[in-house]
Amino acid sequence: MPQDQKATRLLIVDDEQDLLNLLKKVLSKKCDCDIALTTSSLEALELVKNWQPDVVLTDILMPDMDGLQLLQSIHLIDPTISTIIMTGYGTIEIAVQALKDGAYDFFAKPFDNDKISRVVRRALERTYLLRENLHLQQRLTNTTELTGLIGHSPPLRRAIDLMSRLGKSDATVLIRGESGTGKEVAARAIHAMSKRAEKKMITVNCPALPEHILESELFGYCKGAFTGADHNKNGLFLEADGSTILLDEIADLPLGLQTKLLRVLQEKEIQPLGQTKTIKVDVRILAATNQDLEAKMARGEFREDLFYRLNVMTVTLPTLEQIKEDIPLLAQHFLIKYAREYEREGMEFTPEALQCLMRRQWKGNVRQLQNIINRAVLLSDNRKITPQELTSLKEHTKTLETHGQVPACLYNLPYRQAKEEVIGPFTSAYLRHCLAASRGNVTAAAKASDMERQAFQRLMRRYDIDADAFRAP
């Protein structure tokens, strides 16, 4: 569970002192939180106001105020508190009413110690994330707008602090980090904090162009330098004179151009194609890569002298796994961005959705998170983003195929929705397997699956499967 500045707090309310003592003994061992006990609902309300618990575990039948009334009063004081109802006289009607009134969960006595400990831990986490969700907008306004990097985690703060110091200089900077960590955003931040900020930064994607075209784009050419060169053209280095140039994916720069780039770094001059004279340029060079340059040097694919010229100062951006505490803040930032873009203002995450984001792995880092929020905002049927919108059918299928397990996010969905999310990927994969085996012959695929052809076709339409895709050309 994420760590807050103060210890998490649990309030237990029951008119039986022995049960209170037992619960405290059990939960103090399995839940990392401070625990307060009371036999009075009225005293519980005072504790909610003054002690500010994160979770309340309360009995239903109480002498001064029943648990449902206490639940409603707690929500009026602080709707972020997660309340768990317990009773020895539980009925389905009471359980349904408690959940409708906003209870996080419901237990009938006697209960399993491990189960109630697990639910209390989840409730503590839910309260933390719910409160984070409410404060995200305020925190976003306090984030340094100049950098464009969203977050308050120590690894990110260290990177931003380093960029702030480097921004004031003209030093060459090598920006390293996994794909999707925001290297171009970091480069723009360094440029924005420099004395060159008034001029536009030039960005070059090194592997996007063939070597001969990239060379002419970077250094320019004179009329007649090659076939088709019917006029003089200034290169990007000359265009960036007095500003900054970002060489993105520098590890993929061809060796021939690495030599020319080394001259720019050493002599601060360029030589356009077809010209014998050199031109002085005042350009700050930033380079970015997600590759292992040391390994490329060892293989002779990257010049050592160029590496040491580029590696004057290095900024390494953390992965999303390393700044996991920033995920709610980043998610809220992207939610606001895309809700505004698609004219769907007022959207928000459910606490379960934030829990889903916190628990999953992010191999694509911030870019992957951004894409998932984009898709969720665009495809959501209502104003609340739930775990269902954050998990694609492809991800469900992969989880089922590799682990044979149901994704944890699905347990927060209604049964029918969760069932469809599990069965849907299997059905789609099954139909595609049959069609692949029959080379797109629907009749043969239906026969092999022991289904009527019409039923097979209905499923194909439901899961948007085209038999033509499986037919040999």
CATH 1.10.1740.10, applies to 320-390: no
Each residue of 175-227: pLDDT tens digit? 999 999 999 999 999 999 899 999 999 999 988 888 888 988 999 888 877 87
**Banded pLDDT at 404 (limits 50, 70, 90):** very low
Strands (E), 88-191: 105-108, 173-176
Give the pLDDT score at 173: 96
Asked if 9-140 and 154-316 have one fold, the answer is: yes
CATH number given to 154-316 = 3.40.50.300
Each residue of 257-289: pLDDT tens digit? 999 999 899 999 998 888 888 899 999 999 999
Average pLDDT score over residue span 48-74: 90
Give the pLDDT score at 97: 81
Domains of the chain, residue spans = 9-140, 154-316, 320-390, 414-473
Average pLDDT score over residue span 353-374: 89
The partner residues of 385 in beta bridges, in order of sequence, read 349
Give the pLDDT score at 411: 60
CA-CA-CA-CA torsion sign (422, 428, 431, 437): negative
Q: Are 10 and 36 in contact (CB under 8 A)?
A: yes
pLDDT exceeds 60 at position 32: yes
Give the pLDDT score at 396: 46
Give the pLDDT score at 175: 96
Give the pLDDT score at 421: 66
Phi, psi of 333 (to 5 degrees): -60, -50
Each residue of 295-341: pLDDT tens digit? 999 999 999 999 999 998 999 999 999 999 999 989 998 999 899 88
382 is written with which tokens? Answer: 């209502």
Average pLDDT score over residue span 106-124: 87
Give the pLDDT score at 308: 93
Architecture field, domain 9-140: 3-Layer(aba) Sandwich (3.40)
Average pLDDT score over residue span 33-37: 93
Peptide bond into 110 cis (omega under 30): yes
